[in-house]
Structure 1
Amino acid sequence: MSAPLLEVTDLRVTFAPRRAPFRRAAAPLHAVDGVSFALHAGETLGLVGESGCGKSTTARGVLRLVEPSGGSVRLDGRELLGLAPKELRAARRDIQMVFQDPYSSLDPSMLVRESIGEPIDVHLRLPRAERTERIAQLLQRVGLPPDAMTRYPHEFSGGQRQRLTIARAIAADPKILVLDEAVSALDVSTQNQVIELLEELSAAIGLTYLFIAHDLSVVRHISDRVAVMYLGQIVEHGETARVFDAPAHPYTEALLSAVPVPAPDVQRSRERIVLAGDPPDPAQVPPGCRFHTRCRYAMDVCRTEVPRLTPAQGSGEVACHLHTAGPTLAGMSVRTLARPGRTQVPA
């Protein structure tokens, strides 16, 4: 296999709290704590997890929209952390981001041609006629008419505005798009249209995606591989089919149990796993496995020792003591475990 296009190693993002007068300094918040993954050209990696687990902060750390406190981010073999501002701006031509709310990421006082033209001016510096022609081509590529360039963002629907932000993101011919909940604010039919657009762009111009979402049905449809985050760390990753059909981590199993199945008989027979409590405070991470405070399988070792990534059967890795201690799953699906009081076997 060829070298990864994007290689993230031990990425850490820590936020130091403000210190109020006459109060003891609060503990730093470890939003991203040792995240590693690789992304190869032409593939889509889905990054999933509960709200607050660190998905968006990971994306912003990769692009240095927030400054990482440690780790390595290599884009096409080039280290991004530590680059001077001018060098970083040039490197960002190859990796662009699409945000959740398209309206807030477009300047309402600027015509569409100016918003889409900004990355062209920064990275390509085309003559005016070529610039206008390229903007028209970009609009057509995302399914909008060329005359849309003379309108303002408020004149478009939510789905159309997201198409505008995608057109702007691909204006300088990037290699990677980071999509941070890019379809979550859209209705279902518009979601499908935008996802189809992303698939068309990947096939036509070879785009590579880091796709961040909480809708697991969308992630399963578009992703080649999936990484599952919990409290700032990746607890499981692997090929999409393996992760969805044979989850190896109890947290992944719980997330998947919440995905509805469009078949009433199957849905009624599935077990819904409700996690107890809320995720711990990232400023006060529990010892041992971070998930043990909510895990129904928690053992003594989970409360004291941090689990290491071990191979999962089929593909990928999982960080869970169940695979090395106790029942010793050795990479098998956590669904194979027998549990007291279990009345239904998940489909």
Structure 2
Amino acid sequence: MSADPAPLLDVQDLQVTFSPRKKLFRERVSVRAVDGVSFQLHDGETLGLVGESGCGKSTTARGLLRLVEPSAGSVRLAGRELIGLPAKELRTARRDIQMVFQDPYSSLDPSMLVRESIGEPIDVHLRLGRAERTERVAELLRRVGLSPDYMLRYPHEFSGGQRQRLTIARAIAADPRILVLDEAVSALDVSTQNQVIGLLEELSAEIGLTYLFIAHDLSVVRHISDRVAVMYLGRIVEHGDAARVFDAPAHPYTQALLSAVPVPSPKVQRARERIVLAGDPPDPSNVPPGCRFHTRCPYVMEVCRTVDPLLSPALGSGEVACHLHTEGPRLGGASVRTMRSARQAQVPA
């Protein structure tokens, strides 16, 4: 039996801490926006990273690219450690991992022609001659479904969907192996979203791109992802194959997120149980003891208030960090949907 291939991207115990400046008569409080995140990304697959706004998804992406400096952890890209890498070597390593940001309007310099915007990473990483560079830009525009004639236009002359195609063209200009897409379709209307998702699927099939796809739209994540990781308050609370996570969520937070996703059938939609979480996520500068989700969990037990749950296997694939699987009902990795009511979980630990 052959061993599993080494991951293309291996993130272990990544931590990103922000320490604001101390103000007069105010105590300086550090915020750990990402607190021990670990995941792996294999060649050619798509990992969806989901969660509420403020849970740390975008900071995780920026941390692994070192757009913000991690305070601890390891990020290995094709076996090469990125944390602590000198600036010159980091620039070279970044050729293999590029990022597409949420807002295509602010991602492109309004004073630069498209030819120059897309040509920048070519100049940095490939150093082609002028004619080769121009041909490369034309090829990239064709690849993302735009006319090469557009290279002599400015960003304000394009629609939102076209601009996002331009940012994707720039991101793949140096032939990276991984694209990190941070809410790359959330600013677009539904029809344009579908076009961009279709483009990403085509690029994955044609040139073998690997994606870390960050989004809050779970229907889009389910469509494009091979695996899904769910974040809450700086940590991954569940991960696994996309089909397993969506069809049999093992964490109450995942269950609540999925219950908010509308379905096309009005009859099915009316029959679904809508789980409304009480309150807002806790202040990340004052994380509650025990399970971070216990202040909002409909199945909370006494052990949840004091003991931080460890990851345990989920049935089918992946892992889940929840006491329901080891204490009280002892779900043992089964879907939390098997619990008929919250009262069944009110069992002393």
- TM-score normalised to the size of structure 1? 0.97
Which aligned runs of 4 or more in structure 1 are off by greater than 6 angstroms? Answer: none
CA-CA distance at 1:246 after TM superposition: 0.2
Q: Which amino acid aligns with 1:14?
A: T
2:144 equivalent to 1:142: yes
For 1:186 and 1:38, the matched residues in 2 are separated by: 29
CA-CA distance at 1:341 after TM superposition: 8.1
2:273 equivalent to 1:271: yes
Point out where structure 2 has 5 or more consecutive residues left out of the alignment.
345-349
Of 2, 16, 20, the match for 1:17? 20
Q: Which amino acid aligns with 2:19?
A: A
For 1:278 and 1:177, the matched residues in 2 are separated by: 31
Q: Which amino acid aligns with 1:208?
A: T
User: What is the aligned partner in structure 2 of residue 177 from structure 1?
Assistant: 179
User: What is the aligned partner in structure 1 of residue 236 from structure 2?
Assistant: 234
CA-CA distance at 1:18 after TM superposition: 1.4
CA-CA distance at 1:103 after TM superposition: 1.1
Task: Single out whichever of 117-126 and 332-341 deviates more from structure 2.
Answer: 332-341
Matches within 5 A, 1:151-190: 151-190=153-192
Matches within 5 A, 1:1-347: 1-21=4-24, 23-339=25-341
Q: Please state whether the residue corresponding to 2:292 is helix, strand or coil.
A: coil
Q: Please state whether the residue corresponding to 1:327 is helix, strand or coil.
A: coil
For 2:332 and 2:85, the matched residues in 1 are separated by: 41
For 2:276 and 2:269, the matched residues in 1 are separated by: 15
Contact 2:299 2:342 in 1 (8 A): no
For 1:265 and 1:162, the matched residues in 2 are separated by: 36
Listed one character per residue, the Cα deviations across residues 273-295 of structure 1 (whole Å, up to 9, x for unaligned) are 00000000000000000000000
Q: Please state whether the residue corresponding to 1:103 is helix, strand or coil.
A: helix
- How many residues align structurally? 341
Q: Please state whether the residue corresponding to 1:12 is helix, strand or coil.
A: strand
For 2:154 and 2:343, the matched residues in 1 are separated by: 58
Q: Please state whether the residue corresponding to 2:320 is helix, strand or coil.
A: strand
Listed one character per residue, the Cα deviations across residues 302-345 of structure 1 (whole Å, up to 9, x for unaligned) are 00000000000000000000000000000000000121589xxx
For 1:189 and 1:53, the matched residues in 2 are separated by: 28
For 2:28 and 2:128, the matched residues in 1 are separated by: 50
Q: Please state whether the residue corresponding to 1:32 is helix, strand or coil.
A: strand
Listed one character per residue, the Cα deviations across residues 221-243 of structure 1 (whole Å, up to 9, x for unaligned) are 00000000000000000000000
Q: Which amino acid aligns with 1:2?
A: P
Q: Please state whether the residue corresponding to 1:229 is helix, strand or coil.
A: strand
CA-CA distance at 1:198 after TM superposition: 0.1
Listed one character per residue, the Cα deviations across residues 182-238 of structure 1 (whole Å, up to 9, x for unaligned) are 000000000000000000000000000000000000000000000000000000000
Point out where structure 1 has 5 or more consecutive residues left out of the alignment.
343-347
Q: Which amino acid aligns with 1:243?
A: V
For 1:200 and 1:261, the matched residues in 2 are separated by: 26
Q: Please state whether the residue corresponding to 2:107 is helix, strand or coil.
A: coil
Listed one character per residue, the Cα deviations across residues 146-169 of structure 1 (whole Å, up to 9, x for unaligned) are 010000000000000000000000
